[in-house]
Amino acid sequence: MKKIQWDSLYSVNDYATVLDAILVYTTVAVENGVSKDRLDAKTLLDRFVKESPVSCEFLDLIARRAATDIFEREARVALNAISERSNELNAAINGLNAVTEEANSSRRSIMLVSLNEGLSRIENSLQIIKKAEEALDQPDARLLEQFATLKTTIVALKKFEK
């Protein structure tokens, strides 16, 4: 928009013509979606209110409403964008939660496999020690009972993890 010569405006008609030009500029600024142009339009509307005489109060009201309309449009655009970012954040959080849950599940599976392997090794070692004890001339009955109890416990633990 061309520069307004505020000092050359005298009549209500002069101010009405300038306001009309500002409103045309404002309409184009809003339609083209460039924030800087909308800000410039709002600045021109505010300046119009400041520069116009008291006799143009009804024009000031129109200019103020147009400035408010620009502000409300900017606020709606910003709120929509913020809402969109919020949706993106929620989707990202849900994705992270799913990955975390999968990782925790995998970690538990790995721990159970490791536990199962450890229990199998203990079971094999106990079996070897039990056979050695049974091969003795006088095996310790209490020790053999403890081997049986441990074997039962290991079998129960293996079933529990599945």
| Number of separate domains in the chain | 2
| Domain hosting residue 63, numbered range | 6-89
Q: How far is CA 148 from the centre of its chain?
A: 56
Shared domain for 145 and 120, answered yes or no, is yes
- Long-range pairs, 43-51, Cβ under 8 A, ≥24: 44/1, 44/4, 45/70, 47/4, 47/6, 48/15, 48/18, 48/19, 48/22, 51/6, 51/9
Shared domain for 39 and 74, answered yes or no, is yes
Q: Which of 46, 66, 89 is the last residue of a domain?
A: 89
State the maximum Cα–Cα separation within the chain, in Å, rounded to a whole number. Answer: 128
pLDDT digits (tens, 9 = 90+) for 88-98: 888 888 888 88
One-letter amino acid of 33 = G
pTM score, two decimals? Answer: 0.51
Per-residue confidence at 101, pLDDT binned at 50, 70, 90?
confident
Q: Which of 38, 64, 89 is the last residue of a domain?
A: 89
